Amino acid sequence: MTSLQNFNVLLGITGGIAAYKTPDLVRKLKAQGANVRVVVTESAKSFVSPLALQAVSGNTVSDNILDPAAEAAMGHIELARWADILLVAPATANFIAKLANGLADDLLSTLCLATNAPIYIAPAMNQQMWFASATVENMQILETRGIGIFGPDQGEQACGEVGPGRMMEPEQLVSELGKVITHPILKGKRITITAGPTREHIDPVRYITNHSSGKMGYALARAAKLMGAEVTLVSGPVNITAPNVDKLHKVVTAEDMLNTVMKDIKDCDIFIGCAAVADYRPTESVDHKIKKSNIELTLTFVRNPDILASVAALKDGPFTVGFAAETQNVSEYAKDKLQRKKLDMIAANDVSQRDIGFNSDDNRLHVFWKSGDIQLDKADKLTLATQLLQLISEHFNDAQN
């Protein structure tokens, strides 16, 4: 488990019986070195005393968005920015429904919309409420939005029923947080990441593209945010929900992607080209649907600009990391790309395998830099993204010294 030393944890407490455990949760978070600020909903105050939470956290507890004195001390936007992570524990069925629907009718729900920090929830409710189709659908919405979920645990409930719906115990919650939190080693660093495929138009109804789902690039963006970076994500057309980033640019073609990347690149410290950019586009994109005929159709293609090589060629440009998607001679081709495109680092993946690479949840990377390499074993894309960013951070820091 990672220590939570100096992590700013904003703890939101909603009105469930498990709220009585939260002073203990605050104590355990503080024992790990976290800075903790607490926000309670009106109904949470029936289960836990704000005074007790203030005593254990060492900070005033916030509960009202309309309180001028509290807003003057630390306004809700400031509080949202302060957080490295927002943990809602316990999260009631009502709060989960509010979150899924984007309501902002109290301080905590407003903070959930106003923060850029990753949000985690620890659901707690009666087991029948947990299984209710409305809750099941709300949870699916939260999951697709990238909100992390801890628990719930199974067992005897306050109402006497037995089943899933107990809030995860404070000790385990802190341990789970330690697993997802990585040190904010990228705090203050601006990272631009490209993700997904590009689409190159043949005519208004047809295009060429590839199998990239955006999962690897989105995992990198999410992991970079968790590590404290300011993240710009430039994404081709994908069907997954974008993580919470500072700037999200949706593009379609390689040329759009190049123009968008180049706009902000001067302010960027690290560039990661994870997008599967089409190497070619049709020489002509006609503005009417090409009609079929009995003769063969021949399309000609021109080379697209190489975004990664263009960034790497910039004078005083960012630390530049590429990906290499190969089906054979993976190491050899990756090393060639590292050298030819003048990159600082390249992460090669074998896209001939079904269980890794394109459109899968897992990947395996072989990372190369000028004087070395390392294999990152098969894992889910978020874990690999975290490992890759740790490596990038080390090499970036070395390059600065």
Task: Return the active site residues.
Answer: 159
* 358 contributes a contact to ligand PMT by CB under 6 A: yes
The one segment of 62-70, 144-152, 155-163, 353-361 that binds ligand PMT by CB under 6 A: 353-361
Residue 47 is given by DSSP the state T
Whole-number Å distance between alpha carbons of 9 and 84: 6
> What is the pattern of x (binds ligand PMT, CB under 6 A) and - over residues 370-389?
--------------------
Kindly state whether residue 306 participates in binding ligand PMT, applying the rule CB under 6 A.
yes
Exposed e or buried b per residue across 249-284, where buried means at least 16 C-beta atoms within 10 angstroms of its C-beta: bebbbbebbbebbeeebeebbbbbbbbbbbeebbee
C-beta of residue 37 within 8 angstroms of C-beta of residue 87:
no
Cα(348)–Cα(337) distance, integer angstroms: 10
- Shortest distance, position 218 Cβ to ligand PMT, whole Å: 8
Chain centroid to Cα 166, Å, comes to 27
182 to 211, contacts with ligand PMT by CB under 6 A? Answer: 194, 196
The counts of H helices and E strands in the chain are 14, 19
Closest CA to 99 of 90, 115, 110: 110
Locate 304 and state its tokens.
Answer: 């697209």
Site stretch for ligand PMT (CB under 6 A), options 69-77, 184-192, 245-253, 320-328: 320-328
Ramachandran class of 34: left when φ > 0, alpha when ψ lies in -120 to 50, beta otherwise: beta
Verify binding: residue 304, ligand PMT, rule CB under 6 A: yes
Q: Counting contacts by CB under 6 A, is residue 265 touching ligand PMT?
A: no
Does residue 325 bind ligand PMT (CB under 6 A)? Answer: yes
Binding mask 140-159 for ligand PMT (x = CB under 6 A): --------------------
Angle at 206 between CA 203 and CA 210, to 5 degrees: 130
324 is an interface residue for ligand PMT by CB under 6 A:
yes
Rounded to a whole number of angstroms, the minimum distance from the CB of residue 276 to ligand PMT is 4
Closest to 196 in 3D by CA, of 184, 210, 180, 185:
210
Binding-site member from 12, 118, 273, 318 for ligand PMT (CB under 6 A): 273
**The one segment of 174-182, 223-231, 357-365, 388-396 that binds ligand PMT by CB under 6 A:** 357-365
- Comparing CB distances to ligand PMT, the nearer of 181 and 216 is 216
Nearest residue (CB) to ligand PMT, 65 versus 382: 382
DSSP 356-398: SSTT-SEEEEEEEETTEEEEEEEEEHHHHHHHHHHHHHHHHHH
216 binding ligand PMT? (CB under 6 A): yes
8 binds ligand PMT (CB under 6 A): no
Contact residue for ligand PMT among 22, 114, 322, 387 (CB under 6 A): 322
**Using CB under 6 A as the criterion, which residues of the chain lie in contact with ligand PMT when the complex forms?**
194, 196, 212-217, 254, 273-277, 279, 304, 306-308, 322-325, 337, 349, 351, 357-359
